[in-house]
Amino acid sequence: MQKLPRLSGKEVIKLLSKVGFESARQKGSHVILKKKTGEGVIVTVVPLHKEVDKGTLLEIIRQSHMKKEEFLKIV
């Protein structure tokens, strides 16, 4: 299994926007992204850090209803 890359918050937002997420709002250094699907709305929060921790990145992937492999394909 491939390792997760080191990404900044802005890079994560760009990658998620490729799969349909849009910036809904921002509170401090955290950006809330939303994506409308057939089942409802998916919401995920991305911190605007220089480097997002691996555990935080895994949680962002989980919140976006993606698998780790799917996320790595869009990187």
Mean pLDDT for all residues in the chain: 96
Among the listed residues 51, 41, 49, 3, the one whose alpha carbon sits nearest the alpha carbon of residue 20 = 41
> How many whole angstroms separate alpha carbon 31 and alpha carbon 3?
25
pLDDT of residue 2: 84
- Work out the average pLDDT over 53-67: 97
Question: Does the pLDDT at position 56 exceed 90?
Answer: yes
Question: Does the pLDDT at position 71 exceed 80?
Answer: yes
Question: Does the pLDDT at position 1 exceed 80?
Answer: no
**C-alpha angle 41-71-34 in degrees, rounded to nearest 5:** 20
The domain limits of the chain are 9-74
Q: Which CATH class is domain 9-74?
A: alpha beta
Query: For 15-40, how does the pLDDT look when each residue is reduced to its tens digit (9 = 90+)?
Result: 999 999 999 999 999 999 999 999 99
**φ, ψ for residue 8 (rounded to 5)?**
-85, 170
